[in-house]
């Protein structure tokens, strides 16, 4: 049943997928809770599909196979982040079972989440990006770290290749900071990205497809100002209120237009779907792309809902729009 059938009095059954085997498990639970609470209940019957840290699916407190859980749904709202939810894995499962879902498809998701692959895909489009290098955890020895410290631009940013919410991200300015950051990152992931640190103002910009008569509707940019206790927009700054998030940002019209143009370009070049949120930094050499979020957080502390609210759209209306997009393109 696609959409609301007033004659029959039935509602579209939307399974909200949350949790999963990811370092962003807790954030996903919060995103899912927000979606479950705010989906318009006059049109939809929201169903809580919980996926535990071992990847086992649950509905109504009972473990079950994905096939059985999905047989009860008309569509899925993916409220997951990071591994399994944002890397294309759950999208493959949903596609295999013919279940419409919100967000980007499997291939686009896997490319966008891999920071190195995303950068390679964006290079031909002339988007500015900092110099970067990918290393494997098995390569990390004292001799290797000495070589990196000697040859790589400093300061540098160390981040897991495929992760979000700033888990495992650090800025290294000294040899000891580099050593510690690489060791910590190696405990979290097999592949690690070293990236040139670009000083400047962090900004993020969201895209919604087919919204208000525009193919790619650009939400107002959000200027991010971490408090003095945060070196950058890290996990604490994002989820513990340790940053000021100014929407719209305090930029010139020229800068605003360029940010919007770049966000649309990233969304299109990576073949993303429904919505996305791209992160940039504005430095002395211009606006540099950092990464893109194919399933941005939708918690009360998240950035995208703030931008949605800033254009006079309620969170419920936004969720309704995403579900309708998934049903139209099933």
pLDDT tens for 41-70 read: 999 999 999 999 999 999 999 999 999 999
Same domain, 232 and 122: yes
Same domain, 116 and 216: yes
Residue 1 lies in a domain: no
- Whether the per-residue pLDDT at 312 is higher than 50: the answer is yes
Mean pLDDT score across all residues of the chain: 91
pLDDT in tens, 110-127: 999 999 999 999 999 999
Mean pLDDT of all residues in 179-186: 89
Same domain, 148 and 220: no
Look at residue 9 in the predicted model and tell me its pLDDT: 53
Residue 230 lies in a domain: yes
Mean pLDDT is lowest, of 49-58, 196-205, 237-246, for: 237-246
CA distances in angstroms from 212 to 54, 209, 267, 268, listed in the order given: 40, 9, 18, 18
Mean pLDDT of all residues in 278-283: 97
Which range of residues forms the domain containing residue 237? 112-128+199-294
CA distances in angstroms from 97 to 19, 66, 268, listed in the order given: 20, 9, 27
| Residue with the larger pLDDT of the pair 187 and 60 | 60
Same domain, 249 and 187: no
Residue 306 lies in a domain: no
Same domain, 220 and 289: yes
Count of helices and strands (H, E) across the chain: 11, 15
Look at residue 264 in the predicted model and tell me its pLDDT: 98
Decide: helix, strand or coil at residue 164.
coil
Domains in the chain: how many in total? Answer: 3
């Amino acid at each position: 049943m696609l959409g609301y059938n007033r004659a029959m009095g039935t509602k579209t059954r939307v399974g909200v997928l949350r949790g999963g085997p990811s370092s962003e498990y807790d954030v996903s639970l919060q995103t899912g809770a927000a979606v479950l609470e705010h989906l318009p209940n006059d049109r939809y019957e929201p169903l809580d599909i919980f996926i535990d840290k071992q990847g086992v699916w649950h509905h109504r407190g009972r473990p079950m196979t994905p096939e059985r859980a999905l047989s009860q749904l008309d569509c899925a709202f993916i409220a997951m982040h990071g591994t399994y939810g944002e890397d294309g894995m759950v999208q493959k499962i949903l596609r295999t079972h013919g279940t419409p879902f919100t967000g980007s498809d499997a291939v686009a998701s896997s490319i966008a989440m891999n920071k190195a692959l995303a950068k390679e895909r964006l290079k031909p489009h002339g988007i500015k990006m900092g110099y970067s290098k990918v290393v494997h955890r098995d390569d990390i020895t004292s001799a290797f770290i000495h070589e990196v410290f000697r040859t790589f631009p400093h300061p540098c940013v160390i981040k897991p290749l495929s992760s979000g919410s700033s888990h495992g991200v650090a800025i290294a300015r000294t040899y000891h900071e580099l050593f510690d950051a690489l060791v910590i990152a190696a405990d979290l992931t097999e592949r690690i990205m070293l990236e040139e640190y670009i000083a400047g103002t962090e900004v993020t910009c969201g895209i919604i497809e087919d919204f208000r008569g525009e193919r790619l509707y650009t939400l107002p940019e959000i200027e991010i100002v971490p408090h003095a206790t945060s070196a950058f927009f890290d996990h604490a700054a994002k989820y513990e209120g340790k940053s000021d998030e100014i929407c719209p940002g305090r930029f010139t019209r020229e800068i605003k237009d360029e940010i919007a143009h770049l966000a649309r370009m990233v969304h299109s070049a990576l073949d993303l779907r429904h919505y996305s949120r791209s992160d940039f930094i504005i430095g002395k050499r211009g606006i540099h792309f950092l990464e893109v979020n194919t399933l941005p957080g939708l918690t009360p502390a998240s950035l995208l809902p703030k931008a949605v609210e800033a254009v006079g759209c309620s969170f419920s209306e936004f969720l309704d729009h995403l579900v309708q997009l998934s049903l139209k393109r099933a």
